[in-house]
Amino acid sequence: MIITYYGSSCFKVQSGETVLVFDPPSKESKFKSPRFASSLVFVSHNHKDHNGWENFTTGDKKPIILKGPGEYESGGTHIRGVLTYHDASFGKDRGLNTAYVVNLENMNICHLGDFGETDLRGEAKEDIGEIDILFIPIGGDTVIDAEGASKIISQIEPRIIIPMHYGSGDGKSAELKKFINEMGGDGKPLDKFTLKKKDLEGKEMQFIVLNAE
């Protein structure tokens, strides 16, 4: 599995010919969207910084686009969309958000989207389940901040943590530095992250910082 970060909340996760894209920005976004053929596009909520699914059609090949909670399966890939909120007031301020859990190469990936809750509700925690790799926002303002992310991480207890939705994605933002202080470690960024199931052995809540492409 190869994980590539494109800034904001956008990630490409590739396993062989299966290509997943999470929260790609649209043409109207200030963030630049990547363009490549994709199998599945995940949209956490309908916002221009997260709903650019139109960029991933190549010729006659069109990706499957997921835009909400539910149970899905595509080409042997099992997916669960979990209802969460974009704020700490049950969606009254910013609406709903979908966190996605994907089983790929016998590893559970969770992308929290624009998660804004101060606590992970029991029902959502149960639906998310055991997670190997967690993509979590840390930038504050419209999502949880570093302190809030640390609390959610302690509830989910993933093996690998990858922060998102902060600064410019250059690995030097104040939000990222605060998160590194919360979690401990040096936070030295990588350009890409390659992982196999066997690599998870012995890992407990290790965080990985990725440079944005």
**In this predicted model, what pLDDT tens digit does every residue of 84-140 receive, in sequence order?**
998 888 888 878 999 999 999 999 999 999 999 999 988 999 999 999 999 999 988
Q: How confident is the model at residue 150 (pLDDT cuts 50, 70, 90)?
A: very high
**Rounded Cα distance, 68 and 163, in Å:** 22
CA 85 from chain centre, in angstroms, equals 15
Contacts of 201 (CB under 8 A, 6+ apart): none
pTM, two decimal places: 0.92
Domains and CATH numbers, the chain: 2-207 (3.60.15.10)
pLDDT in tens, 33-83: 888 888 899 999 887 876 777 777 666 778 889 999 999 999 889 999 999
